[in-house]
Amino acid sequence: MFIKSINRMLRSDIINVLFKWYNFQSYLEIGVAGLDATFNLIKASFKESVDPRVDPNNIYTYNTTSDDFFKNYAVKKYDVIFIDGLHTEDQIYKDIYNAINYLEDGGVIVLHDCNPSTEDRIATNNGTVFKGFIRAKKELKDWSCFVVDEDDGCGIITKRKILKNKIYDTPELTWDVFVENRNSLLQLISFEQYVQML
């Protein structure tokens, strides 16, 4: 089986389970940086990458921003779209909806950095991805929208009926509100629960 150690699963493990369970073939990664971090670990027969950085050690399929990619280059649909680009609420929200337009029926969007452990990590690593995810989750009422509680939180968005989307309304989403209600807002599940639900 896939479970190597429930204590420490990576985003690539969460994504590769989807390819194994659903026999997916195609993969798009938005926001790559180092190809060895995730992209090269994904077991897909067709893979493409999008990143605006210029790095001679990492050559991307599309060397551009996600906005430019979706506006000018995107023509095909993908089974899995992994979003790990600009970590702001508005950009993540925009990337989610752009990705939906290029997602195969039954495909899955995966978002990294949905569950920052401390407020400091908003500035240093995770950004406000959690806000963009929660904002889209409230609108995608009939979709499965939840977070696997591994590797800084990997959000799952799909039309597949994996887990009923429970909308948890809050006042303004401050850090304190998020911390107090994170399990409900994100619908956090373990990797083991995730595998069992697929």
Say what the pLDDT of residue 5 is: 42
Say what the pLDDT of residue 6 is: 45
Inter-residue contact 59 to 49 (CB < 8 Å): no
Q: Which residues pair with 148 in a beta bridge?
A: 154, 189
Q: Is 130 exposed, middle or buried (0-12, 13-18, 19+ CB in 10 A)?
A: buried
Which pLDDT tens digits describe the chain residue by residue (198 residues)?
A: 334 444 589 999 999 999 999 999 999 999 998 999 999 999 999 999 999 999 899 999 999 999 999 999 999 999 999 999 999 999 999 999 999 999 999 999 999 999 999 999 998 899 999 999 999 999 999 999 999 999 999 999 999 999 999 998 887 899 999 999 999 999 999 999 999 999
Domains and CATH numbers, the chain: 11-197 (3.40.50.150)
Say what the pLDDT of residue 7 is: 57
Q: Which residues pair with 103 in a beta bridge?
A: 78
Positive/negative CA dihedral, 141, 15, 189, 171: negative
Say what the pLDDT of residue 58 is: 92
Single-letter amino acid, residue 97:
Y
Q: In terms of DSSP bridges, do strands 154-158 and 188-189 run parallel, antiparallel, or are they unpaired?
A: unpaired
